[in-house]
Amino acid sequence: MTAKPAAFGASDKLTFLLSLVPYLMDHDRVSVAAVAEHFGVTPERVRDAVNLIAMSGVPGETRQYLHGDLFDIQWDEFETNDTIVLTHLVAIDDSPRFSAREAAALIAGLQYLSALPENADKEAIASLMAKLSRSSTGAPSQLAVSRTDADVAISVIQGAVRAGTQVEFDYLSARGSAEHRRVDPVRIESVDNDWYLRGWCHLRGAMRTFRLDRMSALTSTLVPADTHDDDAQQPGALFVSSADDLTVTIELPASALGLLADYGPEPTSSAAEGDLTRASLRVSHFHGLKRFVTGLAGVVTVVEPGAARQTVADWAASGVARYDAESDRSAPDTARP
């Protein structure tokens, strides 16, 4: 003899209805049987709940329940194919929602995250992208986020870290010299828009930091990576100076020193919060200051040596000159005949 399902009390029915509506919103089209299996109830109970939902709503300004004030479904699908398709939502649909453009931007970001090796094939990301597509005010634009060279390099290096093997690559230094490097990879880190490999360089015999976009011919070898002291593997800053580095003095607000933590600045003067202070940085080449100053435009001033100031000033002047040239080309010709 088949046991009858336990009777639903009033609180059970309310809980079921409160759970059923969000479930139906997350599923554009779902069969009664699938809903019954998901909630562990009979198909008859699901049909009764759907009929009740279709008679529920919020009264309009006339205090009467008109058609637009009630939930609605595709009745042909429900009565003929036993399938539930919500076509009109009440009150819930009035909550703030992402615009189609906002949803598209978020989906693009999630696609980028899902492309990273550590986030590949994550069901949570795929589910969130699907919800964003359904719950925006309009259909989001179809976007595709392509893998970059940095993404490929990250995948190769992370594979080597997991396997405990060395990597080899050709590297273009900040001085413009190209050298072949063999490195025991330790970790990958990012600063702003750039990715860096931290590892033991066999050419230099020390821990070094390499920018991924300066690498070429990157390969993972079968040679086991050597073990190194924890102190060498985990330095306090991403960029560690070497004996042949150049020292540069910069000036910036004292409150902005925290922005340079990864570069290991050494304050050379004290200042109250909000006042300007000076700090020294060690760089491999003065040309490396161009990107550094660009990322902190209006915050950092290069003080000395003069050659460093001149390098940054010349670079800034060349940029302004290009803007002036573009402006001259686009200006209307007012010369008299």
How much of the chain, in percent, has pLDDT values that exceed 70?
Answer: 67
The neighbouring-strand residues paired with 330 are none
Identify residue 234 by its one-letter amino acid code: Q
As a whole number of angstroms, the distance between CA 36 and CA 3 comes to: 17
pLDDT tens digits, 102-136: 777 777 777 766 655 555 556 777 777 777 776 66
Following DSSP, what letter does each residue of 155-205 receive, concatenated? HHHHHHHHHTEEEEEEEE-TTS-EEEEEEEEEEEEEETTEEEEEEEETTTT
Element containing residue 83 per DSSP (H, E): strand 83-84
37: Cβ–Cβ under 8 A, 6 or more apart, which residues?
none
Reply yes or no on whether the pLDDT at 238 is more than 90.
no
Element containing residue 250 per DSSP (H, E): strand 246-253
Q: What pLDDT was estimated at residue 95? A: 53
Task: Please compute Rg for the chain using Cα positions.
Answer: 31
What b/e sequence results for 247-285 when a residue is b if at least 16 CB atoms lie within 10 Å of its CB, and e otherwise?
ebbbbbebeeeeebeebbbeeeeebeeeeebbbebbbee
Q: Do the two domains 149-233 and 246-324 of this chain adopt the same fold?
A: no
CATH topology of domain 12-94: Arc Repressor Mutant, subunit A (1.10.10)
Q: Among 15-19, 140-144, 199-203, 255-259, which stretch is predicted with the lowest mean pLDDT?
A: 140-144
From residue 320, give the alpha-carbon distance in Å to each of 152, 227, 288, 316, 323: 35, 49, 19, 6, 5
Element containing residue 308 per DSSP (H, E): helix 306-330
Q: What pLDDT was estimated at residue 1? A: 45
| First and final C-alpha spacing in the chain | 106
CATH topology of domain 149-233: SH3 type barrels. (2.30.30)
CATH topology of domain 246-324: Alpha-Beta Plaits (3.30.70)
Calculate mean pLDDT across residues 183-205.
84
Calculate mean pLDDT across residues 66-73.
67
Q: Is the peptide bond before 267 cis (omega within 30 degrees of 0)?
A: no
Reply yes or no on whether the pLDDT at 145 is more than 60.
no
pLDDT tens digits, 28-45: 789 999 999 988 899 999
Highest mean pLDDT among 70-84, 237-251, 276-290, 314-328: 70-84
From residue 178, give the alpha-carbon distance in Å to each of 170, 172, 242, 311: 7, 4, 18, 22
User: 175 pLDDT band (50/70/90 cuts)?
Assistant: low
Domain-wise residue ranges, the chain: 12-94, 100-135, 149-233, 246-324
How much of the chain, in percent, has pLDDT values that exceed 90?
Answer: 12
pLDDT tens digits, 220-229: 999 999 887 6
